[in-house]
Amino acid sequence: MEFTAEQIAGILNGEVIGNPAVAVSALAKIEEGQPGALSFLSNPKYESYIYTTQSSICIVNQTFEAAKALPKTLTLIKVQDAYACFAKLLELYNSMNRKEPVIEQPCYIDPSAQIGSNVYIGAFAYIGKNVVVADNAQIYPNVVLQDNVKIGENTCLYANVSVYHDCQIGQNCIIHAGTVIGSDGFGFAPDENGVYSKIPQIGNVVIEDNVEIGANSTIDRATMGSTYIRKGVKMDNLCQIAHNVDVDQHTAMAAQVGIAGSAKIGKHVMIGGQTGIAGHLSVADHTKIVAQSGIPSTVKKADTLMGTPAIPINDYKRSHIGFRKLPGLIQKIFELENKLNDLLKNK
């Protein structure tokens, strides 16, 4: 589908500088632009590309002033925030690629399930007893929704997502391929001989509205009660959320984060990739955790933390400088020790 610069400017409330009738039908990074493509520039590091790009339209900030001549084929659309506006267009583009409402065959839908209007259900999906799939949901092929699962409006579950019994997913969520929601928490009790017996996991998982969960992530059901992923949380691929964890609103975590059982993560926390968080602790709102850090105890006050065990980032950097100097310091100690021994011998 084609859009003109004038139409795009209308969507973004922007100003056209150039040909308002030029049309685009594709999106491209500014350094990879081609005729008929729409790009954006918000980071000054990439400004050099705007003078050579082949894109037909580029979205820029209102404050942008060209340092030299722009390509004659390039039309600008000036907006308040180029990055946010391009993201808005990406969202619009993505919504246009939604699956048409249809129930593909073969698939299994239990007669007791409630399926809303304008729903897409892909081939080989399994929908169990008393499942509720609300209006405009997208259920891709091979998705499994076990008994009593609830899926909110406009939520999308990509291929091979499995949602165990009694779990709930809110509105406008995106669950990427291969994710497992509601698998058993890691609960085992050893007897006097050290043999482990399984503790039944009878709770569920509750995912609130506007959550996005990356591919091949796992969120374990609670032993009792619920594991919570609160409103607006964003999770990258390959994250592990253990039983009874509570991740509060608008927290974001990068790939391979692991959070142990019953941990409580505050609002607007940012967690770098491969971070490990121990169980039965809490992390204060607005905390930032650098990648590959380890959190072994409660974080009571918001800070930027780094290392294992994690400490404030400036303390970590100073410690690291000392650590790098350690081999030289050890060598000096050996040299001083040898000199001292020589002095004692010659005394």
Active-site residue list: 243
Residue with tokens 């081609």: 34
Helical (H) or strand (E) element with 340: helix 313-345
How far is the C-alpha of 185 from the C-alpha of 205, rounded, in Å? 11
Query: Residue 76: exposed, middle, or buried by beta-carbon count in 10 A (0-12, 13-18, 19+)?
Result: buried
Distance CA 165, CA 213 (A): 19
Structure tokens at 160: 């091979």
Whether 23 and 7 have beta carbons less than 8 Å apart is answered as no
- How far, in Å, CA of 17 to CA of 71, rounded? 13
Of the candidates 279, 302, 286, the one whose C-alpha atom is nearest the C-alpha of residue 227 is 279
Cβ atoms of 127 and 106 within 8 Å: the answer is: no
Quote the CA–CA distance of 132 and 6 in Å, as a whole number. 42
Cα–Cα distances in Å, from 242 out to 45, 102, 221? 40, 35, 8
Please, are residues 295 and 281 in contact by the beta-carbon 8 Å criterion?
A: yes
Residues in the chain: 347
Name the residue with tokens 């050893």. Answer: 190
